[in-house]
């Protein structure tokens, strides 16, 4: 079951630039790019917590577990 990272969607909704998020979370722009392109293989819980704090959201707003045959329609 793949896990999708909808960081780019959340950034657009909240109108937060990559530079702003990078500064507030403490990620480099290159690491942030890995998240945005869904190529991330692992995430530290502290990093996930910092992202959720920056967006004032829950982890489920950023991460989505989807069955292969039932891919989400908003992607």
Q: What per-residue confidence (pLDDT) applies to 72?
A: 52
Q: Render pLDDT for 6-58 as a digit per residue (tens, 0 to 9).
A: 898 999 999 999 999 999 999 999 988 888 887 888 889 999 999 999 999 99
Q: What is the DSSP string of the chain?
A: --EEE-HHHHHHHHT--HHHHHHHHT--HHHHHHHHTT------HHHHHHHHHHHT--GGGTEEE--GGG--TT-
- Six token digits for residue 35: 């998240």
Q: What per-residue confidence (pLDDT) applies to 74?
A: 53
Tell which CATH classification among 1.25.40.10, 1.10.760.10, 1.10.260.40, 3.30.390.30 matches the domain 3-70.
Answer: 1.10.260.40
Q: What per-residue confidence (pLDDT) applies to 41?
A: 86
Say what the pTM is.
0.78
Give domain limits for the chain.
3-70
């Amino acid at each position: 079951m793949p896990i999708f990272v909808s960081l780019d969607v959340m950034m657009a909704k909240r109108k937060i630039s990559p530079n702003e998020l990078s500064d507030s979370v403490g990620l480099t722009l290159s690491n942030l790019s890995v998240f945005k392109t869904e190529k991330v293989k692992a995430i530290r819980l502290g990093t996930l917590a910092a992202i959720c704090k920056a967006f004032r959201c829950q982890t489920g707003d950023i991460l989505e577990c989807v069955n292969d045959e039932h891919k989400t329609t908003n992607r």
